[in-house]
Structure 1
């Protein structure tokens, strides 16, 4: 994600991660919730499936919240219920970059086993690839508006005041590290790396985005106990720049011998497989 400049934003609805680019069309239905049966996913996927079939595609709703074309996932959906109103939104992979989808979304292996799929790439598809007659994304969007709303479609635009309110909400909430990562559930992690200065293992406990416990192990040549470093890191946000600021204030050679600050950070924030060619 960092290597390709892909931003991460947490959403209020449930479900797994979604990859967005300019080839991915997103839609939302907002309406009164009504009775329990009106909350069913099928109520909202049905018109989208019908619209895709109108283009000659073999579309169907599948599982809890997917829409498939010829067995390939082209849409995922999610919902949120609040104050008697329901937001149902979904993706439509029209002409998205499949290399980026496969590289950015690394689901748990058991998910693939349960779906008899080998990878993200083998499971998802682009709507454009299934069309008998090619069209671009703006044409697809124009078609959908007619297919979903018929003669009842009404266009509109936000006022400058509303747009500014959107921008304020974006800056104050959705752009913040606290919103996107600080609400993560408590977790423990362990990373181990081998450097010229010795092996280094980091064990970290995190709650609400902050370090609640940390320990360093290995055969590096420490000259003093690491207890004081662990104490200094407790309560610090578990993100690279915050940990780096603490390390910069410490006599790292006394703690880690010939292992450098960058190598300590690489150990802490190392992601298994991040250097593998996941898109190949």
Structure 2
């Protein structure tokens, strides 16, 4: 890959297999440690759940079985999304800098500008959406690793709204707070908006090429992984992303459960508590925009008394914005110990 920060290194996965694509993305993030990287890629007929979500609760299991939909878990936070070949995904990988100053807008801005250059009324919206004429066309998420940040998002070009709506179990509270009636009512397709502004002849292949040029600029270097790299990607695919343990196994039997919705997203906590009052096992779920995995925190809380002051003492040792995004420590504690 190019070593100059003036260049953008561009990768394509050459696949529509969601398990392979997410393994490819993770491998590039963890092994290409210099410069700016852009990826454009597609998944076919897939639900992608956020790193911190309870998969069984997020998907319409009967609909998924009937339509042969792949289900995969990504390594970033946020909510579940449906991908088909009418959707185009993009990934930016670059140096993170000060994580306290890391914002979604840093990465959504060039996408918004690319859409606006086509004559579309595009804007960033809410925590992590891009909208055109008020309709959601993109959802985004981020992850930091070893000083690098991955920011990726969807772009609904000509996706099937019936599949988007049918595959997911929408949280009614989410739609109440956003004053929306349904998934179908909230989303839009970029192709429809292009038709309205006189670009109706632009198909997805042309849009792909346009976006590639718009997001990378004139100093783009197209690159490929080596045979050895690709073998490692396939190994990661088979041993992580296409396993029941990764996709569905992040749940526990629980003796305490609570769920709350905050400005920063939904947060659900499940806890196994021993007879002596210590936490045996704990899981946090939600569509909050975490930057790092919660595994270390969940392990640190194991053995701690299930009492607000004891849990707070552990939480105080962590950068909460990296773990829970905009959800604060006070809101985490309120979810775990409401009214305490």
What TM-score, normalized by structure 2, do the two folds share?
Answer: 0.54
Q: 2:122 aligned with 1:59, yes or no? A: yes
Distance 2:271 2:105 in 1: 38
* Aligned equivalent of 1:108: 171
Offset at 1:26? 0.5
Q: 2:97 aligned with 1:34, yes or no? A: yes
Q: 2:244 aligned with 1:181, yes or no? A: no
Of 82, 85, 93, the residue aligned with 1:19 is 82
Offset at 1:187? 4.8
Of 127, 149, 156, the residue aligned with 2:223 is 156
How many residues in Structure 1 have an aligned counterpart in Structure 2? 192
Of 157, 181, 190, the residue aligned with 1:118 is 181
- The alignment partner of 1:138 has SS state of helix
Of 138, 144, 154, the residue aligned with 2:205 is 138
Distance 2:177 2:252 in 1: 25
Of 229, 232, 238, the residue aligned with 1:165 is 232
Offset at 1:159? 2.1
What's the CA shift string for 1:68-115, capped at 9, x where partnerless? Answer: 001110000001111111111100011111110010122111111111
**Preserved contact between residue 145 and residue 153 of structure 1 (Cα < 8 Å):** no
Distance 2:143 2:233 in 1: 19
Distance 1:186 1:12 in 2: 23
Q: Per the alignment, do residues 127 and 170 of structure 1 end up closer, same or farther by CA in structure 2, a change over 3 Å counting?
A: same
Offset at 1:148? 1.3
Greater relative CO, 1 or 2 (CA 8 Å, sep 6+)? 2
Offset at 1:154? 1.4
- The alignment partner of 1:73 has SS state of strand
- The alignment partner of 2:170 has SS state of coil
Stretches of structure 1 that go unaligned for 5 or more consecutive residues are: 189-204, 208-280
Distance 1:181 1:34 in 2: 33
Pair member with larger Rg: 1
Offset at 1:128? 0.5
What's the CA shift string for 1:170-213, capped at 9, x where partnerless? Answer: 0111110011111135458xxxxxxxxxxxxxxxx998xxxxxx
* Aligned equivalent of 1:74: 137
* Aligned equivalent of 1:217: none
Q: CA RMSD in A?
A: 2.0
Stretches of structure 2 that go unaligned for 5 or more consecutive residues are: 1-63, 256-269, 273-340
* Aligned equivalent of 1:257: none
